[in-house]
Chains A and B, each alone.
Chain A
Amino acid sequence: MGQAIATPAAEKSVFDIKNLNLWYGKNLALKDIDFTIYNNEITAIIGPSGCGKSTFIKTLNLMIQNIPGVRMSGEINYEQTNLLNDRVDLVDLRKKVGMVFQKANPFPKSIYENVAYGPKIHGMKKKGKLDEIVERSLRDVFLWDEVKDRLNTSALGLSGGQQQRLCIARAIATKPDVILMDEPTSALDPISTIKIEELALELKKNYSIVMVTHNMQQAARVSDRTAFFLMGELIEYDQTNKIFSAPSDKRTEDYVTGRFG
Chain B
Amino acid sequence: MNSKVADRIATTIFYLIAATIVTVLVGLLGYIIFHGFSKLNLDFLTSPSSSFRAGGGIGNQLFNSFYILFLTMVFTVPLGLGGGIYMAEYARPGRLTNAIRTCIEVLASLPSIVIGMFGLLMFVNLTGWGYSILGGALALTVFNLPVMVRVCEDALRTVARDQKEASLALGITHWHTIKTVLLPAAFPSILTGAILASGRVFGEAAALLFTAGLTTPTLDFYNWNPFDSTSPLNIFRPAETLAVHIWAVNTQGLIPDVREVADGSSAVLIISVLIFNLLARWIGSVVHKKITASK
Contact A107 B181 (CB under 8 A): yes
Q: A66-B165, A92-B171, A98-B169 are in contact. List 19 more A-B contacts (CB 8 A).
A: A63-B165, A90-B173, A94-B169, A105-B160, A108-B163, A108-B291, A108-B292, A118-B171, A118-B172, A121-B170, A122-B171, A152-B293, A154-B292, A154-B295, A156-B292, A156-B294, A157-B294, A171-B169, A174-B170
Q: List, in ascending order, chain A residues with CB within 8 A of B160's CB.
A: 105
| A135 on the B face (CB < 8 A) | no
**Is the beta-carbon distance between B295 and A153 smaller than 8 angstroms?**
yes
CB distance from A113 to the nearest CB of B (A): 7
B293 touches A105 (CB 8 A): no
- B residues within 8 A CB of A117? 167, 170, 172, 180
Residues 50-66 of A at the B interface (beta carbon under 8 Å):
61, 63, 66
A170 interface contact, C-beta 8 A: yes
* Inter-chain contacts of A63 with B (CB < 8 A): 165, 168-169
Contact with B along A95-133 (1 / 0, CB 8 A): 100110101011111100100011001100000000000
The 18 listed contacts between A and B (C-beta, < 8 Å) are A68-B92, A91-B172, A91-B173, A92-B171, A94-B169, A98-B169, A105-B160, A105-B162, A107-B185, A108-B163, A108-B292, A108-B293, A109-B292, A118-B172, A152-B293, A153-B293, A170-B166, A170-B170
Question: Which A residues are within 8 Å of any B CB, using their own CB?
Answer: 61, 63, 66, 68, 90-95, 98-99, 101, 103, 105-110, 113, 117-118, 121-122, 152-157, 167, 170-171, 174
Chain A residues whose C-beta falls within 8 Å of the C-beta of B181 in the assembled complex: 107
Complex interface: chain A residues within 8 A of B184 (CB):
109
Of chain A, the residue at the smallest CB distance from B291 is A108
Q: Closest Cβ of chain B: how far from A94's Cβ, in Å?
A: 3
Chain B nearest CB from A125 CB (Å) reads 15
Residues on B close to A: CB < 8 A?
92-93, 160, 162-163, 165-173, 176, 180-181, 184-185, 291-295
Q: State whether A154 touches B170 (Cβ < 8 A).
A: no
Residue of B nearest to A91 (CB): B171
Residue of B nearest to A106 (CB): B166
Given contacts A98-B170, A107-B166, contact A121 B293 (CB under 8 A): no
Q: In the complex, what distance in Å separates the CA atom of A101 from the CA atom of B294?
A: 23
Residue of B nearest to A109 (CB): B293
Roughly how many angstroms separate A154 CA and B291 CA in the complex, as a whole number? Answer: 9
**With the chains together, A39 CA to B92 CA distance in Å?**
38
Per CB-CB distance, the 7 closest pairs between chain A and chain B, nearest first, are A94-B171, A105-B162, A99-B169, A108-B292, A154-B294, A110-B293, A154-B293
Beta-carbon nearest neighbor of B159 in chain A: A108
Check A105 against B166 for contact (C-beta < 8 Å).
Answer: yes
Given known A153-B293, A154-B294, A156-B294, contact A105–B171 (CB-CB < 8 A):
no
In the complex, how many angstroms separate the beta carbon of B286 from the nearest chain A beta carbon? 15
Write out the residue numbers on chain A whose beta carbons fall within 8 Å of the beta carbon of B170: 94-95, 98, 117-118, 121, 170-171, 174
Closest Cβ–Cβ distance, residue A143 to chain B (whole Å):
17
* CA–CA, A171 and B172, complex, Å: 12
Contacts of A167 in B (CB 8 A): 166
CB contacts (< 8 Å) of B173 on chain A: these are 90-91
Q: Are A121 and B185 in contact (CB under 8 A)?
A: no
A174 touches B293 (CB 8 A): no
> Which A residue's beta carbon lies closest to that of B171?
A94
Task: Please give, as numbers and ranges, the residues of chain A lying within 8 Å of B167 by CB-CB distance.
Answer: 107, 117
Chain A hits for B169, CB < 8 A = 61, 63, 94, 98-99, 101, 171
Q: How far is the CA of A46 from the CA of B133 in the complex (A)?
A: 66
Could you say which residues of chain A place their CB within 8 Å of the CB of B295?
153-154
Contact call B176/A108, Cβ cutoff below 8 A: no
Least CB distance, A170 to chain B, in whole angstroms? 7
Residues of the A chain whose Cβ atoms lie less than 8 Å from the Cβ of B92: 68
A107 surroundings in chain B (CB, below 8 A): 163, 166-167, 181, 185
- Expressed in whole angstroms, the minimum distance between the Cβ of A86 and any Cβ of chain B is 17
CB B230 to nearest CB in A, in angstroms, measures 50
Nearest-CB distance from A101 to chain B (Å)? 6
User: Please, which residues of chain B bring their CB within 8 A of the CB of A68?
Assistant: 92-93
Nearest Cβ in chain B — how far from A93, in angstroms?
7
Asked if A66 contacts B163 (CB within 8 A), the reply is no
Indicate if the CB atoms of A174 and B171 lie closer than 8 Å: yes
Query: Would you call B171 and A103 a contact (CB within 8 A)?
Result: no
User: Among A61, A95, A105, A155, which residue has the most Cβ atoms of chain B within 10 A?
Assistant: A105
Selected from A93, A101, A152, the residue in CB contact (under 8 A) with B166 is: A101
Would you call B171 and A101 a contact (CB within 8 A)? no
Query: For A91, A107, A113, A170, which residue has the most chain B Cβ atoms within 10 angstroms?
Result: A107
B172→A121 contact, CB < 8 A = yes
How far apart are the CA atoms of A122 and B295 in the complex, in Å?
29
Contact B93 A95, beta carbon cutoff 8 Å: no
In the assembled complex, the Cα of A98 lies from the Cα of B294 at a distance in Å of: 27
Q: How many angstroms from the CA of A157 to the CA of B293 in the assembled complex? A: 10
B291 surroundings in chain A (CB, below 8 A): 108-109
Residues in B with CB closer than 8 Å to A174 are: 170-171
Partner of B171, one of A90, A108, A109, A154: A90
Instruction: List the A side residues contacting B293 at CB < 8 Å.
Output: 108-110, 113, 152-155
